[in-house]
Amino acid sequence: MAQVHAVDFAAELAAFDECTTVDKQKIFFELYAIALIDESFPKAEKILVTQAKERFNISDDKFAADAALKNFVDAYKNLRAVVTD
């Protein structure tokens, strides 16, 4: 069995502080899509997404871009289907 260790998510997000705003937005939506791909969004994931949203200064308007996010999550689901077959 693989060993699991705790990760300081806020500290890990700090590694992206020097990235451009556009890159931070891309990273955020990648993380968010990964959180949503299994169609489960437990409290722990919500906390992590909120931390990333705040750290990367993602506006509420960008966060509410449901259509774009749905397309992104669908792309991940299609990729998962290819990989798991």
The per-residue pLDDT for range 28-45, each reduced to its tens digit, is: 988 988 888 887 889 999
Write out the two tokens for 32. 């968010």
pLDDT tens string 6-21: 889 889 999 999 999 9
The pTM score is 0.74
Q: How confident is the model at residue 82 (pLDDT cuts 50, 70, 90)?
A: confident
Specify the 3-state DSSP secondary structure of 6: coil
Q: How confident is the model at residue 3 (pLDDT cuts 50, 70, 90)?
A: confident
